[in-house]
Amino acid sequence: MMLALRAHDLGKKYEVFRRPADRLKELLWAGRRSFHEDLWALRHLYLEVPRGATWGIIGPNGAGKSTFLKIVTGTTRPTCGTLEVSGSVSGILELGQGFEADFSGRSNVLMNCSILGMSRAEAMERFESIVDFAELWAVIDQPVRTYSSGMYLRLAFAVAVSLEPDILVVDEALAVGDEYFRGKCYARINDFRRRGKTILFVSHSLGVVRNLCDRVVLLKGGEVAAQGTAQEVADLYLQMVHAQDESRTRAADRRGAASGGPRWGDGRIEVREVRSLDASGAERHSFVPGEALTVEARFRVKADVSGRSSGSGCSAPTEPTCVG
Protein backbone atom coordinates (compact mmCIF):
# COMPACT_ATOMS: atom_id res chain seq x y z
CA MET A 1 0.00 0.00 0.00
CA MET A 2 1.39 3.38 -1.05
CA LEU A 3 1.25 5.93 1.76
CA ALA A 4 0.62 9.67 1.38
CA LEU A 5 1.84 10.34 4.90
CA ARG A 6 3.07 8.42 7.92
CA ALA A 7 3.25 9.82 11.46
CA HIS A 8 5.39 7.95 13.97
CA ASP A 9 5.20 8.92 17.66
CA LEU A 10 4.48 12.50 16.59
CA GLY A 11 4.30 15.13 19.31
CA LYS A 12 4.09 18.90 19.63
CA LYS A 13 4.77 20.69 22.89
CA TYR A 14 4.23 24.35 23.70
CA GLU A 15 5.78 26.18 26.63
CA VAL A 16 3.13 28.16 28.51
CA PHE A 17 4.26 31.08 30.71
CA ARG A 18 1.84 32.52 33.26
CA ARG A 19 3.36 36.01 32.97
CA PRO A 20 5.46 37.62 30.21
CA ALA A 21 8.24 38.29 32.76
CA ASP A 22 8.60 34.54 33.36
CA ARG A 23 9.98 34.09 29.87
CA LEU A 24 12.79 36.56 30.64
CA LYS A 25 13.44 34.89 34.01
CA GLU A 26 13.86 31.51 32.38
CA LEU A 27 16.25 32.99 29.84
CA LEU A 28 18.36 34.56 32.61
CA TRP A 29 18.46 31.31 34.55
CA ALA A 30 19.86 29.64 31.39
CA GLY A 31 18.01 26.37 31.90
CA ARG A 32 18.85 25.97 35.59
CA ARG A 33 15.25 26.72 36.56
CA SER A 34 11.98 26.43 34.71
CA PHE A 35 9.25 29.07 34.80
CA HIS A 36 6.87 27.48 32.28
CA GLU A 37 4.41 24.63 32.05
CA ASP A 38 4.49 22.12 29.21
CA LEU A 39 1.35 21.90 27.11
CA TRP A 40 1.27 18.93 24.73
CA ALA A 41 -1.01 19.78 21.81
CA LEU A 42 -0.15 16.41 20.23
CA ARG A 43 1.39 13.33 21.82
CA HIS A 44 2.22 9.77 20.69
CA LEU A 45 0.42 10.18 17.36
CA TYR A 46 0.67 7.21 14.99
CA LEU A 47 -1.09 7.42 11.62
CA GLU A 48 -0.71 5.92 8.15
CA VAL A 49 -2.83 7.62 5.47
CA PRO A 50 -2.97 5.77 2.13
CA ARG A 51 -2.45 7.67 -1.08
CA GLY A 52 -5.76 8.73 -2.66
CA ALA A 53 -7.77 8.45 0.57
CA THR A 54 -9.97 11.10 2.13
CA TRP A 55 -9.53 11.15 5.89
CA GLY A 56 -11.47 13.23 8.38
CA ILE A 57 -9.97 14.54 11.61
CA ILE A 58 -12.56 15.25 14.31
CA GLY A 59 -12.55 15.98 18.02
CA PRO A 60 -13.39 18.65 20.59
CA ASN A 61 -11.73 22.05 20.66
CA GLY A 62 -8.14 21.74 21.84
CA ALA A 63 -7.85 18.11 20.72
CA GLY A 64 -4.86 18.83 18.44
CA LYS A 65 -6.56 18.78 15.03
CA SER A 66 -5.23 22.09 13.72
CA THR A 67 -1.79 21.46 15.23
CA PHE A 68 -1.53 18.20 13.28
CA LEU A 69 -2.51 19.91 10.03
CA LYS A 70 0.03 22.67 10.64
CA ILE A 71 2.74 20.03 10.98
CA VAL A 72 1.57 18.34 7.76
CA THR A 73 1.70 21.62 5.82
CA GLY A 74 5.05 22.59 7.34
CA THR A 75 3.68 25.65 9.14
CA THR A 76 5.08 24.34 12.42
CA ARG A 77 7.62 21.70 13.35
CA PRO A 78 7.02 18.74 15.67
CA THR A 79 8.72 18.57 19.05
CA CYS A 80 9.31 14.84 18.73
CA GLY A 81 8.61 11.96 16.39
CA THR A 82 8.64 11.94 12.61
CA LEU A 83 6.24 12.73 9.78
CA GLU A 84 6.91 11.35 6.31
CA VAL A 85 4.98 13.09 3.51
CA SER A 86 4.91 11.83 -0.07
CA GLY A 87 4.09 14.49 -2.65
CA SER A 88 3.21 18.18 -2.67
CA VAL A 89 0.94 19.62 0.02
CA SER A 90 -1.40 22.59 -0.13
CA GLY A 91 -3.96 23.62 2.42
CA ILE A 92 -6.30 26.10 3.99
CA LEU A 93 -5.75 26.36 7.71
CA GLU A 94 -6.57 29.60 9.48
CA LEU A 95 -8.72 31.90 7.40
CA GLY A 96 -6.58 34.23 5.30
CA GLN A 97 -3.34 32.81 6.67
CA GLY A 98 -0.48 34.15 4.60
CA PHE A 99 -2.46 37.11 3.28
CA GLU A 100 -1.10 40.63 3.73
CA ALA A 101 -4.05 42.84 4.70
CA ASP A 102 -2.80 46.01 2.99
CA PHE A 103 -1.96 44.28 -0.30
CA SER A 104 -4.54 43.87 -3.03
CA GLY A 105 -6.15 40.55 -3.81
CA ARG A 106 -4.06 40.40 -6.99
CA SER A 107 -0.79 40.88 -5.11
CA ASN A 108 -1.80 38.32 -2.48
CA VAL A 109 -2.65 35.72 -5.12
CA LEU A 110 0.74 36.11 -6.81
CA MET A 111 2.58 36.16 -3.47
CA ASN A 112 0.84 33.04 -2.19
CA CYS A 113 1.41 31.21 -5.45
CA SER A 114 5.10 31.97 -5.00
CA ILE A 115 4.99 30.64 -1.42
CA LEU A 116 3.42 27.43 -2.77
CA GLY A 117 6.41 27.00 -5.09
CA MET A 118 5.11 28.38 -8.38
CA SER A 119 7.27 30.49 -10.62
CA ARG A 120 6.08 33.97 -11.60
CA ALA A 121 5.15 32.66 -15.06
CA GLU A 122 3.12 29.77 -13.57
CA ALA A 123 1.33 32.13 -11.19
CA MET A 124 0.42 34.50 -14.01
CA GLU A 125 -0.79 31.57 -16.12
CA ARG A 126 -3.15 30.40 -13.35
CA PHE A 127 -4.20 33.84 -12.15
CA GLU A 128 -7.36 34.12 -14.26
CA SER A 129 -8.64 30.66 -13.29
CA ILE A 130 -8.02 31.46 -9.59
CA VAL A 131 -10.02 34.69 -9.72
CA ASP A 132 -12.71 33.04 -11.86
CA PHE A 133 -13.17 30.33 -9.22
CA ALA A 134 -13.23 32.87 -6.38
CA GLU A 135 -15.55 35.14 -8.39
CA LEU A 136 -13.77 38.24 -7.11
CA TRP A 137 -12.95 40.20 -10.28
CA ALA A 138 -14.84 43.24 -8.96
CA VAL A 139 -12.54 43.59 -5.92
CA ILE A 140 -9.35 41.83 -6.95
CA ASP A 141 -7.38 45.10 -6.97
CA GLN A 142 -8.72 46.25 -3.60
CA PRO A 143 -6.80 45.68 -0.32
CA VAL A 144 -7.85 42.38 1.23
CA ARG A 145 -8.52 44.16 4.55
CA THR A 146 -11.68 45.42 2.84
CA TYR A 147 -12.81 41.83 2.09
CA SER A 148 -15.46 40.03 4.08
CA SER A 149 -14.57 36.73 5.74
CA GLY A 150 -16.37 34.93 2.90
CA MET A 151 -14.22 36.71 0.31
CA TYR A 152 -11.09 35.74 2.25
CA LEU A 153 -12.19 32.12 2.13
CA ARG A 154 -12.98 32.17 -1.56
CA LEU A 155 -9.59 33.59 -2.46
CA ALA A 156 -7.69 31.30 -0.06
CA PHE A 157 -9.43 28.17 -1.33
CA ALA A 158 -8.97 29.14 -4.98
CA VAL A 159 -5.23 29.63 -4.46
CA ALA A 160 -4.85 26.38 -2.48
CA VAL A 161 -6.50 24.18 -5.12
CA SER A 162 -4.81 25.92 -8.05
CA LEU A 163 -1.55 24.12 -7.29
CA GLU A 164 -3.12 20.71 -8.00
CA PRO A 165 -1.40 19.28 -4.90
CA ASP A 166 -0.97 15.58 -4.15
CA ILE A 167 -2.31 16.21 -0.64
CA LEU A 168 -5.01 18.81 0.06
CA VAL A 169 -5.47 19.88 3.68
CA VAL A 170 -8.69 21.68 4.62
CA ASP A 171 -9.41 22.98 8.11
CA GLU A 172 -12.76 24.25 9.40
CA ALA A 173 -12.48 27.36 7.20
CA LEU A 174 -15.18 26.13 4.77
CA ALA A 175 -17.80 26.75 7.45
CA VAL A 176 -17.41 30.49 6.78
CA GLY A 177 -18.57 30.55 3.18
CA ASP A 178 -22.13 30.90 1.95
CA GLU A 179 -24.13 27.87 0.81
CA TYR A 180 -23.41 28.44 -2.88
CA PHE A 181 -19.65 28.68 -2.46
CA ARG A 182 -19.49 25.78 0.00
CA GLY A 183 -21.17 23.65 -2.64
CA LYS A 184 -18.62 24.83 -5.18
CA CYS A 185 -15.75 23.94 -2.81
CA TYR A 186 -17.13 20.48 -2.05
CA ALA A 187 -17.56 19.85 -5.77
CA ARG A 188 -13.87 20.67 -6.28
CA ILE A 189 -12.92 18.41 -3.35
CA ASN A 190 -14.95 15.56 -4.86
CA ASP A 191 -13.18 16.17 -8.16
CA PHE A 192 -9.86 15.81 -6.32
CA ARG A 193 -11.08 12.52 -4.86
CA ARG A 194 -12.02 11.15 -8.28
CA ARG A 195 -8.53 11.96 -9.53
CA GLY A 196 -6.86 10.04 -6.71
CA LYS A 197 -5.67 12.96 -4.59
CA THR A 198 -5.24 12.59 -0.84
CA ILE A 199 -7.41 14.83 1.34
CA LEU A 200 -7.20 15.60 5.06
CA PHE A 201 -10.39 17.27 6.21
CA VAL A 202 -11.10 18.82 9.62
CA SER A 203 -14.67 19.75 10.41
CA HIS A 204 -17.17 19.88 13.26
CA SER A 205 -19.93 19.11 10.75
CA LEU A 206 -20.33 15.35 11.22
CA GLY A 207 -22.80 15.13 8.35
CA VAL A 208 -20.18 16.42 5.91
CA VAL A 209 -17.53 14.15 7.45
CA ARG A 210 -19.77 11.09 7.01
CA ASN A 211 -20.51 11.93 3.37
CA LEU A 212 -17.03 13.01 2.35
CA CYS A 213 -14.52 10.84 4.22
CA ASP A 214 -13.41 7.23 3.78
CA ARG A 215 -12.02 6.98 7.30
CA VAL A 216 -12.03 9.26 10.33
CA VAL A 217 -9.59 9.84 13.19
CA LEU A 218 -10.93 11.03 16.54
CA LEU A 219 -8.45 13.09 18.55
CA LYS A 220 -8.85 13.76 22.24
CA GLY A 221 -6.29 15.50 24.42
CA GLY A 222 -3.71 15.43 21.62
CA GLU A 223 -3.87 11.65 21.19
CA VAL A 224 -5.74 9.27 18.88
CA ALA A 225 -8.86 8.15 20.74
CA ALA A 226 -10.25 6.11 17.82
CA GLN A 227 -10.03 5.59 14.09
CA GLY A 228 -12.25 3.70 11.70
CA THR A 229 -15.05 4.23 9.21
CA ALA A 230 -16.67 7.65 9.11
CA GLN A 231 -19.97 6.32 10.47
CA GLU A 232 -18.41 4.38 13.36
CA VAL A 233 -16.14 7.16 14.58
CA ALA A 234 -18.72 9.93 14.13
CA ASP A 235 -21.19 7.91 16.22
CA LEU A 236 -18.53 7.30 18.87
CA TYR A 237 -17.76 11.02 19.01
CA LEU A 238 -21.46 11.86 19.44
CA GLN A 239 -21.70 9.36 22.30
CA MET A 240 -18.66 10.97 23.93
CA VAL A 241 -20.12 14.47 23.55
CA HIS A 242 -23.50 13.37 24.91
CA ALA A 243 -21.86 11.74 27.94
CA GLN A 244 -19.97 14.97 28.67
CA ASP A 245 -23.18 17.00 28.26
CA GLU A 246 -24.99 14.72 30.69
CA SER A 247 -22.20 15.09 33.23
CA ARG A 248 -22.09 18.90 32.93
CA THR A 249 -25.88 19.19 33.14
CA ARG A 250 -26.09 17.04 36.27
CA ALA A 251 -23.35 19.12 37.89
CA ALA A 252 -25.18 22.34 36.95
CA ASP A 253 -28.42 20.91 38.35
CA ARG A 254 -26.72 20.10 41.63
CA ARG A 255 -25.26 23.61 41.85
CA GLY A 256 -28.63 25.14 41.03
CA ALA A 257 -30.44 23.05 43.63
CA ALA A 258 -27.89 23.97 46.30
CA SER A 259 -28.14 27.70 45.60
CA GLY A 260 -31.87 27.80 45.00
CA GLY A 261 -31.26 28.53 41.32
CA PRO A 262 -32.02 31.74 39.39
CA ARG A 263 -35.59 33.04 39.47
CA TRP A 264 -37.60 35.21 37.06
CA GLY A 265 -41.17 36.50 36.89
CA ASP A 266 -43.58 37.76 39.55
CA GLY A 267 -43.57 34.60 41.66
CA ARG A 268 -47.23 33.63 41.14
CA ILE A 269 -46.16 30.31 39.64
CA GLU A 270 -43.02 28.55 40.82
CA VAL A 271 -41.47 25.88 38.61
CA ARG A 272 -40.24 23.15 40.95
CA GLU A 273 -38.76 20.64 38.52
CA VAL A 274 -38.33 20.07 34.77
CA ARG A 275 -37.24 16.73 33.37
CA SER A 276 -36.59 15.57 29.80
CA LEU A 277 -37.45 11.91 29.18
CA ASP A 278 -36.61 9.57 26.31
CA ALA A 279 -38.96 7.03 24.73
CA SER A 280 -38.38 4.53 27.56
CA GLY A 281 -39.16 7.12 30.24
CA ALA A 282 -35.55 7.49 31.35
CA GLU A 283 -34.32 10.98 32.17
CA ARG A 284 -31.73 12.38 29.76
CA HIS A 285 -30.34 15.82 28.93
CA SER A 286 -29.16 15.36 25.33
CA PHE A 287 -30.92 13.95 22.28
CA VAL A 288 -30.17 13.47 18.60
CA PRO A 289 -32.50 14.72 15.82
CA GLY A 290 -35.50 12.42 15.34
CA GLU A 291 -35.54 10.96 18.86
CA ALA A 292 -38.75 10.98 20.90
CA LEU A 293 -38.70 13.57 23.69
CA THR A 294 -41.12 14.14 26.55
CA VAL A 295 -40.82 17.21 28.79
CA GLU A 296 -42.25 16.81 32.27
CA ALA A 297 -42.68 19.89 34.47
CA ARG A 298 -43.82 20.22 38.08
CA PHE A 299 -44.94 23.68 39.21
CA ARG A 300 -46.69 25.30 42.16
CA VAL A 301 -49.38 27.97 41.66
CA LYS A 302 -49.14 30.45 44.55
CA ALA A 303 -51.76 32.99 43.48
CA ASP A 304 -54.72 33.35 41.17
CA VAL A 305 -53.49 33.79 37.56
CA SER A 306 -56.89 33.65 35.86
CA GLY A 307 -57.37 35.99 32.94
CA ARG A 308 -53.78 35.59 31.70
CA SER A 309 -53.35 35.33 27.94
CA SER A 310 -51.76 31.89 28.33
CA GLY A 311 -55.15 30.19 28.56
CA SER A 312 -57.17 28.64 31.38
CA GLY A 313 -56.91 30.13 34.84
CA CYS A 314 -55.36 28.52 37.92
CA SER A 315 -56.11 29.20 41.53
CA ALA A 316 -53.76 28.77 44.46
CA PRO A 317 -52.71 26.60 46.07
CA THR A 318 -51.97 23.65 43.79
CA GLU A 319 -48.95 21.78 42.49
CA PRO A 320 -49.81 20.03 39.20
CA THR A 321 -47.57 18.16 36.82
CA CYS A 322 -47.62 19.05 33.15
CA VAL A 323 -46.40 16.55 30.57
CA GLY A 324 -46.01 17.49 26.94
pLDDT in tens, 17-48: 989 888 888 888 887 888 889 999 999 999 99
Going by DSSP bridges, is the β-strand pair 54-58/198-202 parallel, antiparallel, or unpaired?
Answer: parallel
Indicate whether 323 pLDDT > 80.
Answer: no
Indicate whether 317 pLDDT > 70.
Answer: no
* Range among 34-38, 105-109, 184-188 with highest mean pLDDT value: 105-109
- CB-CB contact of 55 with 215 (8 Å): yes
Query: Which band of pLDDT confidence, cut at 50, 70 and 90, is reported for residue 61?
Result: confident
Single-letter amino acid code for the residue at 284: R
Give the ranges where the chain is alpha helix by DSSP (H).
20-29, 65-73, 105-115, 120-134, 149-162, 179-194, 206-212, 230-259
**pTM metric for this prediction:** 0.70
Question: Shortest CA distance to 66 belongs to which of 170, 163, 156?
Answer: 170
User: Looking at domain 3-239, which CATH architecture does it have?
Assistant: 3-Layer(aba) Sandwich (3.40)
Can you tell me the distance from the alpha carbon of 149 to that of 69, in angstroms, rounded to the nearest whole number? Answer: 21
Task: List the chain domain ranges.
Answer: 3-239, 266-323
Q: Residue 269: which residues within 8 A CB-CB, separation 6 or more? A: 299, 300, 301, 302, 305, 314
Query: Which band of pLDDT confidence, cut at 50, 70 and 90, is reported for residue 315?
Result: low
Average pLDDT, the chain: 84
Per residue in 198-235, is it b (16+ CB within 10 Å) or e — as a string?
A: bbbbbbebbebbbebbebbbbbbebbbbbbeebeebbe
More reliable by pLDDT, 93 or 159: 159
Can you tell me the distance from the alpha carbon of 6 to that of 3, in angstroms, rounded to the nearest whole number? Answer: 7
End-to-end, the C-alpha distance of the chain in Å comes to 56
Q: Residue 265: which residues within 8 A CB-CB, separation 6 or more? A: none
Average pLDDT over residues 235-239: 89
